[in-house]
Amino acid sequence: MLHLGTRKTGTTAIQQYLAKHQQDLSRHFLHRGDPNSSLWMTQAFSDNLGDKGIYKGRNLPPEELARLRELARWGLSRQINKLGSKDAVLSAEVMASMSEEELAEARTFFSQRFTDIATHIYFRPMKSLMESSFQERLKHRHTNLEEDYAFAYPSRIRILDKVFGKSQVHVHKFDRRHFPDGNIVQHFLNAIGENHTAQTLSVDNESLSLPAIQLLYHYRKAQPARDINDRKIVRRLTELEGPPLRFHSTLYDKLLRRKSRDMDEFEKRVGFSVDEDLCANDAGAISSEEDLLAVPPSALEWLAEAIQQPVTTSEGGVASMVMALGDDAPSCTANGRA
């Protein structure tokens, strides 16, 4: 059983739960210490390993790259050989973006050791994915609000169907409203046939409110590169309450690169739509950079209290105030309202 974790679909929660509760499951959870086996699968099956992830730019000699692949496959075989007749599940986010050739290599490897290889993959509605992805990028660097998004879901399904067979590719919509008690882990366990009730597992992904994102955007415009205090600033901004970030429907239409036939093909194949009620949250939604820069007064008041400095709205002033969140000052305990 392969769980191909796509971005922002509860993959980390699933992986951490499988690792913590593997003794309660009927399947063995294959991993090498890290519940996310992306590095393991990259080493074992990626073409041009020297150009991937942590190896990119290191100019490792071919014999070293070959040794890494051999060790990765040896470790995988060693774990599988200990299973006997027991089934296994492996989760790796990277497998959701591997090439057809790399996935075919993985399938060949696993098919020599298992009689049945099922894959499970979740897809998040596109507008929600865009909003979440923008927030995540902004935490690490300045990002352009108008950076477009390709609708790559159909091509991914075509590759998976070709490599594993359509009947072995199980596609799920990431929508907490349709999960048992909103629990992605329970939904996954049910999907793979595990008769197990998932306990609540907290996974901190440092989600930010809209006013917090607006403050962060000011900071990022002034400090586009990574800084040693970035994580501290983001952590402090999680204390600021407010509505979530929503893209206006007009911005969504502008940013999404897709062809109507691709959407039709995808929906016909998987049986659900990744479009949403696009206009449902247009009130108060972001449609331009001007909206991002328009920080509400209540957020500025929260920031001033957090850093114990007066509010300044001069050019660069908001960014300087946000930067001060990285100083070793006591955390503000009072949540702001937006």
Whether 62 is covered by a domain: the verdict is yes
Closest CA to 29 of 6, 1, 49, 10: 1
Whether 230 is covered by a domain: the verdict is yes
pLDDT in tens, the chain (338 residues): 999 988 889 999 999 999 999 999 999 999 999 999 999 999 999 998 888 888 888 889 999 999 999 999 999 999 999 998 789 999 999 999 999 999 999 999 999 999 999 999 999 999 999 999 999 999 988 999 988 898 999 999 999 999 999 999 999 999 998 899 999 999 999 999 998 888 765 555 568 999 999 999 999 999 888 889 999 999 999 999 999 999 999 999 999 988 778 889 999 999 999 987 788 889 999 999 999 999 999 999 999 999 999 988 876 899 999 999 998 644 444 444 34
Predicted local distance difference test score (pLDDT) of residue 201 = 58
Query: Is residue 184 domain-shared with residue 234, that is, in the same domain?
Result: no
- Three-state SS for 50? helix
Whether 197 is covered by a domain: the verdict is no
Contact 88, 138 (CB under 8 A): no
- Count of alpha carbons within 13 angstroms of residue 334, beta-carbon side: 12
| Sign of the alpha-carbon dihedral angle for 245, 246, 250, 256 | positive
Amino acid at 210: L
Long-range contact set of residues 324-328: C-beta below 8 Å, sequence gap at least 24: 325/229, 325/232, 325/233, 325/236, 325/237, 326/227, 326/229, 326/230, 326/232, 326/233, 326/236, 327/229
Predicted local distance difference test score (pLDDT) of residue 337 = 39
Query: Is residue 109 domain-shared with residue 216, that is, in the same domain?
Result: no
Query: Is residue 114 domain-shared with residue 236, that is, in the same domain?
Result: no
Whether 277 is covered by a domain: the verdict is no
Q: How many domains does the chain have?
A: 2
Query: Is residue 69 domain-shared with residue 181, that is, in the same domain?
Result: yes
Whether 302 is covered by a domain: the verdict is yes
Whether 46 is covered by a domain: the verdict is yes
Query: Is residue 186 domain-shared with residue 41, that is, in the same domain?
Result: yes
Whether 201 is covered by a domain: the verdict is no
Between CA 299 and CA 247, with CA 234 as vertex, the angle to 5 degrees is 65
Query: Is residue 58 domain-shared with residue 186, that is, in the same domain?
Result: yes
Query: Is residue 112 domain-shared with residue 239, that is, in the same domain?
Result: no
Query: Is residue 181 domain-shared with residue 234, that is, in the same domain?
Result: no
Q: How many residues does the chain have?
A: 338
Contact 130, 149 (CB under 8 A): yes
What radius of gyration do the chain's Cα atoms show? 22
Query: Is residue 40 domain-shared with residue 183, that is, in the same domain?
Result: yes
DSSP code per residue over 68-99: HHHHHHHHHHHHHHTSTT--EEEE-GGGGS--
Domain boundary among 163, 191, 219: 191
Whether 169 is covered by a domain: the verdict is no
Residue 34 belongs to domain spanning: 2-124+174-191
Query: Is residue 179 domain-shared with residue 236, that is, in the same domain?
Result: no
Query: Is residue 79 domain-shared with residue 117, that is, in the same domain?
Result: yes
Predicted local distance difference test score (pLDDT) of residue 314 = 77
Query: Is residue 20 domain-shared with residue 118, that is, in the same domain?
Result: yes
